[in-house]
Structure 1
Amino acid sequence: MKLLRSSLLGSAAAFAAVGAAHAADLPVKKAVPIEYVRICTAYGAGFFYIPGTDTCIRLSGRARFEGGYQTAYTRQFGQGGDTAGYRGLARINVDARTQTGYGTLRAFLRIEVASRTGGPYGGGTSGTQQRIAQAFPGLGVDQFGRSQMYVNADKAFVQFAGITAGRASSFFDFYAHDFEFTAATAGSDIASTNLLAYTATLGNGFSATLSVEDPVFRRSGLFSPTVNANAVATNAAVANFGITSSPIPVITGYNAAGFPSRFNFVDGIEKSRLPDFVGALRYDSAWGSAQLSAAVHELNANNVQNNVLGFVPGAGLGTAATAANGSQLAFPHTRTDYGWAVQGGLKVNAPFIAPGDTFYLQAAYGEGAQLYTGYSSYSGGYIQNSATIQGQKFQQYFADATVNPITGQIQKSNSFTVSAAYLHYWAPEWRSAVFGSYGEMDFGAGARAAQGLVFNVINPNNSFAANGIGLPGTRFYQLSQALRDTYQFVAGANLIWSPVKDLDIGVEGLYTQIGVQRGRVIDLDKDPTAYSRVAAINAGGLVRTATNDGVSQVRIRVQRDF
C-alpha cells in the first residue's frame, strides 16, 4: 500500500513537470496597449484626434429656452387671441478636419431640433418653416397651429481646395441677423441652402466666390388671383389644378365688341430647371469685413391649358367656348424671365469703443427676387400674402412677379431693404445690441390694374375671396389690399448677461410697422365684413380704412453653448 501511494505521487509530480515545461514553450499574449485620445492643436481649442486616424474632430452644441409675447389686436371668431409662445431648442455640431497636400479637408454638420408652441403669430410657431417641411404641426384641437416640432439639417457641407459643397449658408448673405433673437429685421438670410461653390483667395484679404445654389429656397412665386391664402382653388373651372397650384388667368380671345371673351389658365408653379447663380467679392481684415454680392434667379411658368374657357356675360366662365365668344387668339407661351439682386455689406470692429463692439450695415435691391432682399423676413416667406400680426389690418403681398393677363408675359416686382445693427459690451459679462431696418415692395407698373380687370371679369357679381382686387376705377379697387406697394420698418434692442463663459441670459424687444406707400386700404380688423359688401362700398357706403399697422414683441432667452 505504501509502495502504491509512493508510485502515484511520483507519477503526478512527473505530469506536473511535463505540463510546466510545455506551458513555458507557449507564447505569452500581451495586453493591447491603451490608445489615449490626443489633443489636436492645429485648428483651435476643442479638437482631438479620432483614435487611429489623422482626422481632428470637434463636438459642440447648444441648448436654448425662449419665451415670447406679442401684442394681439383681435379676438374675432377663429382668428386668434394668442399672445404667448415658447420654444426649447437643441443643436449638435460636428466639425471634422484633415490636413492634406491640397490644404484642409473639412466636413461640418449641424442638426437642430426644437419644440415650439404658441399662437400662429404669437412668437411660437413658424408657418415659413412648415411650408418647406422643416416644421411639423400638432393636430389636436388646441394644438393645431399652436404646436410644432422643428427638425432641420441646418448644415452638412464639405470644404476642400476652395470648394464648398452641401447644405450651407448662402454666399449671397452677409449680416444674417447675427445680433438678434427674433431675426425680424429685413435682410437676406435663409439660414441654409443646397449649393456648390468655389472660393478663390486673391490675397491681401480679398476673396471671390462663385456659387451655384438651390432656387427652391429663394422663390416667392408668381401672383395668382384665383387662389386664397391656403392655395386652394376658388373657381370650379380651375379645380383640376388641385390645392397646391397657382392657376393664373390670361385672356385668349375677344368678342366683336372688343370685350375679353375667352380665357385660359397658366400653370404658375415654378419648376426647378436652372439653379440660382451667386457671386460674391469679399474683403476681410483686422478692422472688419466688406462684401458685394449678386444673384440671378430664374422665373418660369408652364403653358396654358389646352381647353378654351368661354365667358358668359353676367355668369362668369363657362366650361367651353362658343361662337358667341369670338375667335380664339394664338396665345404665346409665357417666356422665362430672370430676377436678380445685388447687396452690399459692411462690418466694422470697434474695439476703440469697447472690446468686442461691432457694427453692421447692409443694403440690398432686387427685381423678381424678393427673398434675396429679405423684405418678408418678419412676415414669413413662401406665401403670396401674409398677415403675421393677429388682427392685422391688411395683408402684405410678396410675389416675385405677376403674369400680365393681356400679354401673358411676366412682370417683375422689385424690393429693397436697408438694415443696421450695433453690438456693444458694457462689461465683459454684459452686452446689448440695437438694430433696425427699412424696406419697400413694389409691383410692376399696371400689374395691379390688369389683375383687377381679369379677376373681376371671371368672377362676376364680385364673387371673390379676400384676395380679390376689384374692378379698376371703383372705390373698392382703390381700397383693396391686393398687390399694394408697401413698406416695412423694424426697430429693436436686446440686453444679454453672461455670468459665466458660454451662458447667455437675455431679453429683447422690438417694434414692427407695415404700411401702404400710397392711399388707404380696408381695415380688416375693424371692418371684417367689408369684402362681403363690395356693391355698398362702391356706392359710397361706410367702410373703415387704414394706412399702416404695427406690433410689439418681447422675448427672453436662456442659452448654453458648449
Structure 2
Amino acid sequence: QNYPGNNFDGLVGGSGTVTGVNQFTYTADFGQGVTAAFSAEDVSNYYQAGNLNLSSAAASPAAAIAGLTNGAVGANGIGGTRSPNLVGMVRVDQAWGLFQASVAAHDNHVAYYGATEPTGHPDDKWGWAVQLALSIKNIPTGAGDVINISGVYTDGATRYNFQNLAGSTFIMYGSSNLAYGSLAAVTAPDTTYVTGSNQESVKTWGFRGAYTHNWDPYWNTAIYGAYAAAQFGGGTKAFLCAPGTGVFSSIAGVTSCNPDFNIGQVGLITRWTPVKNLTFSADLTWTHIDQKYAGIVTPGANFAVAKPGAPANYQLKDQDSVNLLLRAQRNW
C-alpha cells in the first residue's frame, strides 16, 4: 500500500516498489478469496538501505563533522548480493475489503574492512521484516469510501519501512535564531559496524494509512498519514555518542548526541474526475523530521544546495517541509 490514498511518492511507513521487482513467486489459491505466496525477490534495485562502516567517520575531525551534518554516519560497505530476499505472504480478499500479512528475510553482505581481501570482513547478518495491511470497503460514510492502513517492523531490513521512493537518508535545512541556519541530517541503513567488528542491525517500525471519501461521482478527498522511527544499536550509539569519546559527541558545539530519529507525515488530496479516465488532483503533504541531536556546529560547505561552511554555523534541530503536487492524469 504505497499509495493508501495519496499521489505523493515519498511516504514512509512501509515498502514500495511501483516499477516492479524481478522475482520468482509461487501462489496457492485456497478459494474463498484466500491465497498464499512465497517469493524470491531481487534485492539489488530496491531493498538495500546500506551497511555503514562507522570507522570512516572517525578518520579525522573533518570526516566526523561531515558524517554528522551530511547524514552519512559512515562509509557504505555493501558487498553485493548473495541471496534474494525471501518473502512469504497470506492474503484474504473479500467483498468487505482485504487483509494481508507478510514476512521477509534480507541478507546483509558486507565488503572488506579495507581495500584488499586480507583485511577481512564482517559475517553476513540476516535481517527481517513483518508487515500487516488492512483495507475496509463499503463503510457507511458513502459509496466507494475506503480505509487503508498498514504497519511494519524491521530488524536489519530497513527498506520495508523507509521505502525506495522515500529514501532512508534525509538532510533538510531551515532557519535559526541562534545561528546562520539550522539543519537535520539523519539516516537509517540496514546495519552498521566498525572495522574489525560484526554488523549491528538497525531496527525500525512504522505505519501509513488513509481515509478516502467520495463526495459524489466526480469528486473525492482523502486524508492520509505516515510515521516511521529508526533506532540504532547500543554499539553504534556508544561509538558515535559516548560522552567525551564518541565520534560525534566530541565535536565542538554538540550538546546532545543520538542518531535515532522519527519522521511523521500528514497529507490531504482532492481529486476531480469530470469525465471518465480524466482526473485532476491537488495533493498537499507536510513532513516533519524529529531528530535527536542538539547544539551549534560549523560544518564544511554543502555546495549542492549552496550552503556555506565556516564561519557559518548551524543549529542541529528538527525540520519541516510542505509539498504540493498538482497532477492531471488521462488514462486510455
Contact 2:254-2:293 at 8 Å conserved across structures? no
Is 1:446 the equivalent of 2:221?
A: no
* Separation of aligned partners in 2, 1:388 and 1:543: 15
CA distance in 1, matches of 2:137, 2:295: 44
Q: Which amino acid aligns with 1:545?
A: Q
- 1:426 counterpart = 2:210: no
**Alpha-carbon distance, 1:404 to partner:** 3.2
Given the alignment, which residue of 200, 222, 240 partners 1:411? 200
Alignment partner, residue 213 of structure 1: 41
| Residues 1:502 and 1:190: Cα distance change in structure 2 (over 3 Å) | same
Match of 1:334, SS state, is coil
Confirm or deny: 8 A CA contact 1:184 1:490 kept in the other structure. no
Q: Post-superposition shift, 1:409?
A: 0.4
**Alpha-carbon offset, residue 410 of structure 1:** 0.2
- 1:513 corresponds in structure 2 to 288
Could you say what secondary structure the match of 1:498 adopts? strand
Q: In the TM superposition, what is the alpha-carbon distance from 1:522 to its structure 2 partner?
A: 4.2
Pair 1:520–1:477, CA change in 2 (3 A): closer
Counterpart mapping for 1:84-95 below 5 A: none
Q: Which residue of 2 aligns with 1:394?
A: 184
Is 1:176 the counterpart of 2:2? The answer is: yes
Mapped pair 1:501 → 2:276: yes
Task: Tell me which residue corresponds to 1:293.
Answer: 102
Asked if 2 retains the 8 angstrom alpha-carbon contact of 1:185 and 1:435, the reply is no
Match of 1:185 among 7, 11, 16: 11
- Secondary structure at the counterpart of residue 319 of structure 2: strand
Letter in 1 for 2:330: R
Cα separation, 1, equivalents of 2:321 and 2:152: 24
Q: C-alpha separation between the residues in 2 aligned to 1:225 and 1:194? A: 32
Q: How many Å apart are 1:352 and its aligned residue?
A: 3.0
Matched residue type, 1:189 = G
Are residues 532 and 222 of structure 1, via their aligned partners in 2, closer, same or farther at CA, if it must alter by over 3 Å? Answer: farther
**What is the CA distance between 1:416 and its match in structure 2?**
0.8
The structure 2 residue matched to 1:437, chosen from 211, 221, 226, is 226
Greater percentage in strand: 2
**In 2, distance between residues paired with 1:472 and 1:222?**
22
Within a 5 Å distance, the mapping from 1:33-72 to structure 2 comes to none
SS of aligned partner of 1:446: helix
Of residues 247, 253, 261, the one that matches 1:470 is 247
Q: Is the 1:348–1:360 Cα contact (8 Å) retained in structure 2?
A: yes
Q: 1:376 to 1:402 in 2, by over 3 A?
A: same
Distance 1:555 1:471, change over 3 A: closer
In 2: Cα distance, 1:503 partner to 1:560 partner = 5
On the 8 A contact 2:270/2:282 being kept in 1, the answer is yes
Unpaired segments ≥5 residues, structure 2: 64-72, 176-181
Hey, what's the Cα distance between the residues in 2 that align with 1:490 and 1:393? Answer: 18
SS at match of 2:230: strand
CA contact (8 A) 2:133 2:151 kept: yes
TM-score by length of 2: 0.80
**2:228–2:262: 8 Å Cα contact kept in structure 1?**
yes
Offset of 1:287 from its aligned partner? Answer: 0.1
CA contact (8 A) 1:401 1:410 kept: yes
Distance in 2 separating the partners of 1:184 and 1:224:
27
One-letter amino acid of the structure 2 residue matched with residue 287 of structure 1: W
CA distance in 2, matches of 1:334, 1:398: 19
Counterpart position of 1:373: 161
* Whole-angstrom distance in 1 between the partners of 2:56 and 2:172: 19
The answer to whether the 8 A contact 1:470-1:476 is kept is no
* Aligned-residue offset at 1:277: 0.1
State the match for 2:326 in structure 1: 556
The residue correspondences of 1:300-379 to structure 2 (distance < 5 A) are 300-305=109-114, 333-374=121-162, 377-378=165-166
Q: CA RMSD in A?
A: 3.5
Separation (CA, whole Å) in 2 of partners of 1:366 and 1:285: 28
Deviation readout 1:307-357 (Å, 9 max, x if unpaired): 79xxxxxxxxxxxxxxxxxxxxx9864111011100000000025322211
TM (norm. structure 1) is 0.49
CA displacement, residues 43-72 of structure 1 (integer Å, 9 cap, x when unaligned): xxxxxxxxxxxxxxxxxxxxxxxxxxxxxx
- Contact kept, 8 Å, 1:280 with 1:292, in 2: the verdict is yes
Q: Aligned letter for 2:29?
A: T
**C-alpha separation in 1, matches of 2:82 and 2:221:** 44
Aligned partner of residue 448 in structure 1, secondary structure: helix
Q: Secondary structure, in 3 states, of the residue corresponding to 1:193?
A: coil
SS for the counterpart of 2:233 is: coil
* C-alpha deviation, 1:476, in angstroms: 4.3
Q: Using the alignment, how far apart are the partners of 2:74 and 2:297 within structure 1?
A: 28
Residue aligning to 1:273: 82
Q: For 1:543 and 1:556, locate their aligned partners in 2 and report how far apart those are by CA, in whole Å.
A: 36
Structure 1 portions without partners, runs of 5+: 1-174, 229-233, 236-245, 249-266, 309-329, 458-468, 534-541
2:317 counterpart residue number: 547
Q: Write the distance in 1 (CA, Å) between the matches of 2:134 and 2:53.
A: 37
Q: Which has the higher contact order (CA 8 A, sep 6+)?
A: 2
Counterpart of 2:96, as a letter, is W
Shift of 1:558: 0.9
Change (3 A) 1:449 1:207: same
Task: Measure, in 2, the Cα distance between the counterparts of 1:471 and 1:423.
Answer: 44
Preserved CA contact (<8 Å) 1:375 1:416? no
- Identical positions, percent: 23
Deviation of the 1:411 alpha carbon: 0.5
Matches of 2:297 and 2:100 in 1, distance apart? 41
Contact 2:172-2:183 at 8 Å conserved across structures: no
CA deviation map 1:138-179 (0-9, x unaligned): xxxxxxxxxxxxxxxxxxxxxxxxxxxxxxxxxxxxx12142
Aligned to 2:69: none
